[in-house]
Amino acid sequence: MNESNFSRLNQYKSMWVLVFFDLPTETRLERKAANRFRKNLIDDGFNMFQFSIYMRFCPSRENAAVHIRRTKNALPKKGKVGIMQITDKQFGMIELFHGQKEIPPEPPSQQLELF
């Protein structure tokens, strides 16, 4: 592995972007806006972590900034949305449980980079 590949895969430079949201769904228009926001996240490569938490692996801080900007451009008019980015190293320290049974975190999906 050459130096550029190592730096690209460095756990301190690769990022996870997490989007947390609580959107109103009382009216038909609110449900439509909430579903459109979720669909935009999925179309941009985010995966559902929990019902209102979506996450995406990004190979660099610059790439994370692109996806954060896209998320901000798709914000619905109502509701609460939080965007957090953490390093792959920090994400690797997560402890996940299904009931009382610990489960290993899923490895990041392979992203195709075209430059």
> Number of structural domains, the chain?
1
Domain that holds residue 20: 3-103
Q: For position 53, what pLDDT does the model report?
A: 98
Q: For position 43, what pLDDT does the model report?
A: 97
CATH number of the domain within which 72 lies:
3.30.70.240
Q: For position 115, what pLDDT does the model report?
A: 46
Mean pLDDT, consecutive 10-residue segments, the chain of 115 residues? 54 93 97 97 96 96 97 97 96 89 75 52
Tell whether 41 is covered by a domain: yes
Tell whether 112 is covered by a domain: no
Q: For position 98, what pLDDT does the model report?
A: 84
C-beta contacts of 5-13 below 8 A and 24+ residues apart:
8/59, 8/60, 9/59, 11/87, 11/88, 11/89, 11/92, 12/87, 12/88, 12/89, 13/59, 13/60, 13/61, 13/87
